Amino acid sequence: MRIGFIGLGAMGTGIAGRLLAADHALVVWNRSPAAMEALVARGAHAAARAAEAARVDVLHTMLADDDALRAVLLDGGVLDALPRGSVHVNHATISVALARELAVLHARRGVDYVAAPVFGRPDAAAAGQLHVLVAGDALAVARVRPLLEAIGQSLWPLGTAPERANVVKIAGNFMLAAAIEAMAEATVLGRAHGIDAGELLAVLTGTLFAAPAYRNYGRLIAERQYAPAGFALRLGYKDTRLTLAAAESEQVPMPLAGILRDGFLDALAHGDGELDWSALAEVAARHAHLQQRAADTLP
Amino acid sequence: MRIGFIGLGAMGTGIAGRLLAADHALVVWNRSPAAMEALVARGAHAAARAAEAARVDVLHTMLADDDALRAVLLDGGVLDALPRGSVHVNHATISVALARELAVLHARRGVDYVAAPVFGRPDAAAAGQLHVLVAGDALAVARVRPLLEAIGQSLWPLGTAPERANVVKIAGNFMLAAAIEAMAEATVLGRAHGIDAGELLAVLTGTLFAAPAYRNYGRLIAERQYAPAGFALRLGYKDTRLTLAAAESEQVPMPLAGILRDGFLDALAHGDGELDWSALAEVAARHAHLQQRAADTLP
Amino acid sequence: MRIGFIGLGAMGTGIAGRLLAADHALVVWNRSPAAMEALVARGAHAAARAAEAARVDVLHTMLADDDALRAVLLDGGVLDALPRGSVHVNHATISVALARELAVLHARRGVDYVAAPVFGRPDAAAAGQLHVLVAGDALAVARVRPLLEAIGQSLWPLGTAPERANVVKIAGNFMLAAAIEAMAEATVLGRAHGIDAGELLAVLTGTLFAAPAYRNYGRLIAERQYAPAGFALRLGYKDTRLTLAAAESEQVPMPLAGILRDGFLDALAHGDGELDWSALAEVAARHAHLQQRAADTLP
Amino acid sequence: MRIGFIGLGAMGTGIAGRLLAADHALVVWNRSPAAMEALVARGAHAAARAAEAARVDVLHTMLADDDALRAVLLDGGVLDALPRGSVHVNHATISVALARELAVLHARRGVDYVAAPVFGRPDAAAAGQLHVLVAGDALAVARVRPLLEAIGQSLWPLGTAPERANVVKIAGNFMLAAAIEAMAEATVLGRAHGIDAGELLAVLTGTLFAAPAYRNYGRLIAERQYAPAGFALRLGYKDTRLTLAAAESEQVPMPLAGILRDGFLDALAHGDGELDWSALAEVAARHAHLQQRAADTLP
């Protein structure tokens, strides 16, 4: 089975590496060619153009956002190059609207479109420890299942309409951002009452919130260690916009998502887009003027 | 060591039972006497008046809110009855302002005031599996430590100012309510896109949010099983007001807490105060008119 | 001077009528031809195709939204048909992003693009009593000034970049929606305390808020008279999205606009999109369960 | 008719001056005696203690907040000193809850309690140009009507339950704060798009929002001229708390009021409590980091 992979950022490189490690022949492409070198050294073939990586049985893509995917897939000729009967597995977090549109465009060309967004950071991707959501035609999903098992620790089938996987992925990222905002406000409340953020979060993530998401982001907030970003704040903002767009298309009010939007905009306006998205906590601290309070108590 | 216990709701009864099980002599009092019977059957002594339960070495109280505590402690003569050198251990979730006030009032009378709010449901209380936060004078805390160890699976010392434990407790309840609101909005988004709440939450609590809080409340939301309440919505509202009061006293904006306030008020206005506080999810569903959508799709 | 007019809804018809009344020769086009009849009866010439109405010295357009304008102007060949040296005067409330894009596209073809959004209802349009905001090249604005004076009671020049007029128009509609939301919440508060909405608003619009906007919308809210719509709620929602988009492009948090978005979505989900946008007040009333309270007090 | 007046801040002094100008005999009291001098020079009698000013036919009070009123009226012996059959006219903006409580306390002593909160700034008070809301027993209101006409340009009877006037007063201040927040967000949006706040507000207050409230506060916002305060921000925050308390007691969600609360807390945390409450606009500007943007564009 010939496999293609387009989009070799940190996540894409990790996933492609797992496919190589499972002894699959892989043709890769990336806009910036340097990202292909490490995989070529491990046996991948570097395509000269994106469309070349699409002449395969299964094409995986992991591109940054709707615009990047449209540019490569539609304007870049990749969809046109996909053979009839092939499968396109898209790992990216894209809008529900684009997922619906792509399902139709692929069907017209006799290509199966499978949405397979993932939960996990680059290190989990490299270790094959992602959680993989998957939705699409049942036969197509069955066909790519061994590939998905090679990249993830768990597989979550979500039906035949691809956009269903995107809705769940978007909902999950929304809930992560909400957890960050909750920790942000809680720690600012604590600090204003003289309780260190680390002390407060040690109790809460040691009792009610003993989940990795709370522990990891809680540590970053307590230590104010936002660089290098595990997940960049500007991407967290992008996903919040996807949440709001998915809500608007079905007329769903989401007040908490609205708060996240304003918090992310505030952070972006302050130049923090490349920090980890847990830097949302700095917004809450600024609004309460915490820095200044600390300064006032210096000798 | 003589021990008193005032306030025998579901939580108080569970905690008092653990003290009895640890072979402590216990004098108990409750406004409604029926609640005392089970403990008397297990060896407790029933006080005729609240003040009688206060003539002890250590008094535990677990009353519903600030008003109930003031009524018993101040107007009911309990504080006046506490012997010099005794310790008052307060397990209730009260306001930060009242905690500060009580610390002063007890100190004036030569009584130690220890705040020991807990995380956990009545079944955890009965099983001695609470998480116990504790703050107060170091010697007093050391003295009551064996008692606290009898009622909890973990003990979290938070310094000498009692209100510090209350701030952390309030922050924890705020974060729980925020998690409920996040699940509420996420499941409404999913349902509007045709994804069942149980299906969506199975993925998210099986991956990113594998914590008991998310799993328990997620199940209640997915099954819309809000009665009997594990924690009544009107109490969740009460705690949100404590959060906002603690934030106001230190000039801390908390937009997410503001959203919770409005959601709880909406639920109360709809008569849902005695349901489990996860019924906050019904508010989000009403705003998106989900019930009607389901009806529209019936044959 | 030959003048074209495309887009004959209630507003467009009113404006075009004023141009006719000022003795201008007018060629008109509308997607639904029936709307052209009344103007033809008053002397206008009906174009067979949109592009035909563009072979003029000054083209006015008043289309519903970005998509309608793109469809007619770009896909429908109208921009291509505009003669070099002509002026396109756009009265519609469109996005800031599209206004910027159109300025560039017109400049490339040697056509002047002038943004001239208006404040006022259809009756004000028909009476030449609109307030007209205008931005664009100074010479082009000077050229169309007599036309704008024929349609408005006041003219507000806002500089040479067309999108500046759109920003001010969007900001004005945002402030109107905010005033409606403020009256909505205030009247629900009053009604919950037994004060009729009409009684409360009579005081407030008779004292602090003696402006037509408050008086008109206040009357609709007090009488719950939302049909026929002066300005449809779905259009109010559209403009709120334009506000949020303009805010996002420049990284401006707007919490009040976020609340309006959720309120409008709630109203749309309840099927109220064709009511007047002051029906936003019904959302606040539902959240407080006011209807039910009234019912409870019936004998 | 003997008249007493307690509470001689800027507003109280203006009102009392009008009563003197109408040839009423006035006994005045203020905690800080200096405030009495100007009125004594105009013929008022200065009471030695608050209770002395209460031995009158009609007592007017204008105190800062609930606490100040309780201190003087209840703890200071003023209520006890009021003769049976006298009327207490309270001009202050107090909580609905306290208004209800006072109505009962006065009735028990055979004193009529009339709520008469006002709209207007100190200069309007001095000129007798206030708008006076009034609620209370019909006969008592009839009795004090000439006094109220001496201090206001208009009188708004709101029924027999005193708290009704307080609800309307609170609702009016809420709507003013909402208008300020709307202008704050709108001007920040405009400034981020390169449109000066003065330019934007000139258009909007010259067309849709031609009301004094918008013009006055709009000018302060455009000129960033927040001192001296016409109405201090900390008082605007106090009134927002009264709004939220009145909403909570009747289970009314008010999302816009929640945003105002957070904005005021942010301003207070930044030390702006003594500025005019239109300084709320600075909060919105900080969140969008506008100051820094301006700095970035300097040569």
pLDDT digits (tens, 9 = 90+) for C55-90: 999 999 999 999 999 999 999 999 999 999 999 999
Compute the average pLDDT of residues D271-286. 98
ipTM rounded to 2 decimals: 0.96
CB D282 within 8 A of CB D227: no
* Cα–Cα distance for residue pair B255/B233, rounded to 1 Å: 20
* Cα–Cα distance for residue pair A69/A75, rounded to 1 Å: 9
H-helix or E-strand containing D103? helix D96-108
Domains of chain B: 2-160 (3.40.50.720), 167-296 (1.10.1040.10)
Q: What is the pLDDT of residue A296?
A: 57
* Cα–Cα distance for residue pair D8/D15, rounded to 1 Å: 9
In sequence order, the β-bridge partners of residue C113 are C88
Q: What is the pLDDT of residue D292?
A: 76
The confidence band for C299, taking pLDDT boundaries of 50, 70 and 90, is very low
Q: What is the pTM of this model?
A: 0.96
Instruction: Look over chain B and give the mean of its residue pLDDT values, rounded to a whole number.
Output: 96
CB A82 within 8 A of CB A109: yes
Dihedral sign (CA D140, D145, D148, D154): positive
Residues 6+ apart with CB under 8 A from A19: A3, A5, A26, A60, A147, A150, A151
Nearest to C262 among A253, A268, A269 (CB): A253
Residue by residue, DSSP assigns chain A as -EEEEE--SHHHHHHHHHHHHTT-EEEEE-SSGGGGHHHHHTTPEEPSSGGGGGSSSEEEE--SSHHHHHIIIIITSHHHHSPTT-EEEE-S---HHHHHHHHHHHHHTT-EEEE--EES-HHHHHTT-EEEEEBS-HHHHHHHHHHHHHHEEEEEE--S-THHHHHHHHHHHHHHHHHHHHHHHHHHHHHHTT--HHHHHHHHHHTTT-SHHHHHHHHHHHHT---S-SSBHHHHHHHHHHHHHHHHHTT---HHHHHHHHHHHHHHHTT-TTSBGGGHHHHHHHHTTHHHHHHHT--
Q: What is the pLDDT of residue D1?
A: 87
Q: What is the pLDDT of residue C42?
A: 96
Q: Which two tokens stand for residue A22?
A: 């499972």
Q: Do D203 and C168 touch (CB under 8 A)?
A: yes
Cα D291 to chain centroid, rounded: 32
* Cα–Cα distance for residue pair C36/A121, rounded to 1 Å: 60
Q: What is the pLDDT of residues B98-109, one digit of tens each?
A: 999 999 999 999
Residues 6+ apart with CB under 8 A from B64: B7, B9, B92, B235
- N-term to C-term CA, chain C: 70
Compute the average pLDDT of residues B269-284. 98
Active site residue B169: yes
Nearest to D288 among A255, A269, A286 (CB): A269
Q: Do C213 and D209 touch (CB under 8 A)?
A: yes
Q: What is the pLDDT of residue C298?
A: 45
On chain C, the residues whose CB falls within 8 A of the CB of A246 are: none
| Coil, helix or strand at residue D119 | strand
Nearest Cα of chain D lies from the Cα of A195 at a distance, in angstroms, of: 18
Pairing of strands A45-46, A25-29: parallel
Nearest Cα of chain A lies from the Cα of C270 at a distance, in angstroms, of: 9
Listed residue (A148, A182, A161) closest to A60, CA to CA: A148
* Cα–Cα distance for residue pair A20/A8, rounded to 1 Å: 14
Compute the average pLDDT of residues C215-239. 96
Q: Which residue of B has its CA nearest to A252?
A: B288
Catalytic residue among B24, B91, B169, B191: B169
Q: What is the pLDDT of residue A298?
A: 46
On chain C, the residues whose CB falls within 8 A of the CB of B265 are: 288
The confidence band for C295, taking pLDDT boundaries of 50, 70 and 90, is low
Burial bucket for residue D91 (CB in 10 Å: 0-12, 13-18, 19+):
buried
Q: What is the dihedral of CA A201, A203, A208, A214, to 10 degrees?
A: 30
Nearest Cα of chain A lies from the Cα of C264 at a distance, in angstroms, of: 8
Instruction: Look over chain C and give the mean of its residue pLDDT values, rounded to a whole number.
Output: 96
CB A76 within 8 A of CB A61: no
Q: What angle do CA A195, A199, A202 make, to 5 degrees?
A: 145
Residue C209: how many other CB atoms lie within 10 Å: 25
* Cα–Cα distance for residue pair D131/D88, rounded to 1 Å: 19
On chain A, the residues whose CB falls within 8 A of the CB of D292 are: 270
Q: Which residue of D has its CA nearest to A270?
A: D289
Nearest to A288 among D269, D286, D292 (CB): D269
Q: What angle do CA C288, C289, C291 make, to 5 degrees?
A: 125
Q: Do D252 and B241 touch (CB under 8 A)?
A: no
Question: For B275, phi and psi rounded to 5 degrees?
Answer: -75, 165
Nearest Cα of chain B lies from the Cα of D251 at a distance, in angstroms, of: 5
Q: What is the pLDDT of residue C292?
A: 76
Q: What is the pLDDT of residue A291?
A: 85
On chain C, the residues whose CB falls within 8 A of the CB of A247 are: 265
The confidence band for D55, taking pLDDT boundaries of 50, 70 and 90, is very high
Q: Which two tokens stand for residue A39?
A: 């995989």
| Coil, helix or strand at residue B76 | coil
Q: Which residue of C has its CA nearest to D118?
A: C207
Q: Which residue of B has its CA nearest to D262?
A: B253
Q: Does the structure show a pLDDT above 70 at C258?
A: yes
In sequence order, the β-bridge partners of residue D155 are D132
Q: Does the structure show a pLDDT above 70 at D297?
A: no
CB D166 within 8 A of CB D96: yes
Catalytic residue among A24, A169, A191, A238: A169
Q: What is the pLDDT of residue A294?
A: 67
Nearest to D175 among C168, C186, C287 (CB): C186
Residues 6+ apart with CB under 8 A from A299: none
Q: What is the pLDDT of residues B145-199, one digit of tens each?
A: 999 999 999 999 999 999 999 999 999 999 999 999 999 999 999 999 999 999 9
Q: What is the pLDDT of residues C118-134, one digit of tens each?
A: 999 999 999 999 999 99
| Coil, helix or strand at residue C6 | strand
Q: What is the pLDDT of residues A86-98, one digit of tens each?
A: 999 999 999 999 9
Q: What is the pLDDT of residues D250-267, one digit of tens each?
A: 999 999 999 999 999 999
CB A246 within 8 A of CB B193: yes
* Cα–Cα distance for residue pair A195/B263, rounded to 1 Å: 28
Residues 6+ apart with CB under 8 A from A242: A93, A94, A95, A96, A170
* Cα–Cα distance for residue pair B79/A214, rounded to 1 Å: 40
Q: Do B287 and C287 touch (CB under 8 A)?
A: yes
Compute the average pLDDT of residues D143-149. 98
Dihedral sign (CA C151, C153, C157, C161): negative
Angle, helices A138-151/A10-21, rounded to nearest 10 degrees: 90
Question: For A120, phi and psi rounded to 5 degrees?
Answer: 140, 155
Compute the average pLDDT of residues D228-246. 97
On chain C, the residues whose CB falls within 8 A of the CB of A261 are: 253, 258
CB C43 within 8 A of CB C23: no
B44 DSSP assignment: P
Listed residue (B232, A289, B123, D254) closest to C183, CA to CA: D254
D67 DSSP assignment: H
Q: What is the pLDDT of residue A232?
A: 96
Residues 6+ apart with CB under 8 A from A68: A7
From residue B267, alpha-carbon distances to A51, B262, C260, D75 in Å are 55, 9, 21, 39
Cα C278 to chain centroid, rounded: 15
Q: What is the pLDDT of residue B299?
A: 42
Mutation pick from C282, C287, C290 vs chain B, by most beta carbons of B within 10 Å, is C287
Q: Do C270 and B289 touch (CB under 8 A)?
A: yes
Q: Do C263 and A253 touch (CB under 8 A)?
A: yes
Considering only CB atoms, which residues of chain D are within 8 Å of chain B? 241, 247-248, 251-255, 258-259, 261-263, 265-266, 268-269
Nearest to A186 among B164, B171, B288 (CB): B171
Q: Do C248 and A241 touch (CB under 8 A)?
A: yes
Q: What is the pLDDT of residue B227?
A: 97
Q: Does the structure show a pLDDT above 80 at D295?
A: no
List, for chain A, all residue ranges whose pLDDT scores fall below the cut of 70: 294-299
Q: Does the structure show a pLDDT above 70 at C294?
A: no
The confidence band for C155, taking pLDDT boundaries of 50, 70 and 90, is very high
In sequence order, the β-bridge partners of residue C75 are none
| Coil, helix or strand at residue B46 | strand
* Cα–Cα distance for residue pair D22/D20, rounded to 1 Å: 5
Nearest to A168 among B203, B214, B288 (CB): B203
Q: Does the structure show a pLDDT above 90 at C296?
A: no
Q: What is the pLDDT of residue D294?
A: 67
Q: Does the structure show a pLDDT above 50 at D122?
A: yes
Q: What is the pLDDT of residue D299?
A: 42
CB A187 within 8 A of CB A162: no
Chain A: partners with 3+ C-beta pairs within 8 Å = B, C, D
Q: What is the pLDDT of residue D298?
A: 45
